[in-house]
Amino acid sequence: MAAQKVILGADHAGFELKEKLKSVFKENEIVFDDLSLVFDEKDDYPDVAFKVAKRVAREKNLGVLICGTGIGMCMTANKVKGVRAALAYDENTARLSRQHNDANILCLGGRTTDEKLAKRILKVWLNTRFLEGRHLTRVEKIRAFENE
């Protein structure tokens, strides 16, 4: 599995799933930094997403964000320069987000993804590498736009 540090974050709707996913990191000896240590029903996904996304972009780490559907986290995280957040809903979308898009943040839905599936998605995502080749040209177009 990936040796890179992973930055975790969840709002109130994703907190429970985030806690369950920690076992994947521990079992595979992956270093992680949880920025949402305490459940707070007032946590808003933009606040958490920006905090995690800024760290991922600045430190060149990977990240995992979880809200009710994963959509809000994904939309917000992608506002941060250098972030390529992807909402994955199965193992194939997780794999493709890494292979083709070099996604550096995985977004999941705490209310839409059960624990077993979320763990499989996370494992696939962490174990998949960017293919580069023709995909690198596309990612470079995203980077160029960010720098305009």
Catalytic residue selected from 12, 67, 74, 107: 67
Rounded CA gap, 3 and 71, in Å?
Answer: 27
107 catalytic per annotation: no
Token digits of residue 127: 């174990």
Question: What's the N-to-C CA distance of the chain in angstroms?
Answer: 35
Q: What DSSP line would sit under 95-129, residue for residue?
A: HHHHHTT---EEEEETTTS-HHHHHHHHHHHHH--
Catalytic sites, residue numbers: 67, 100
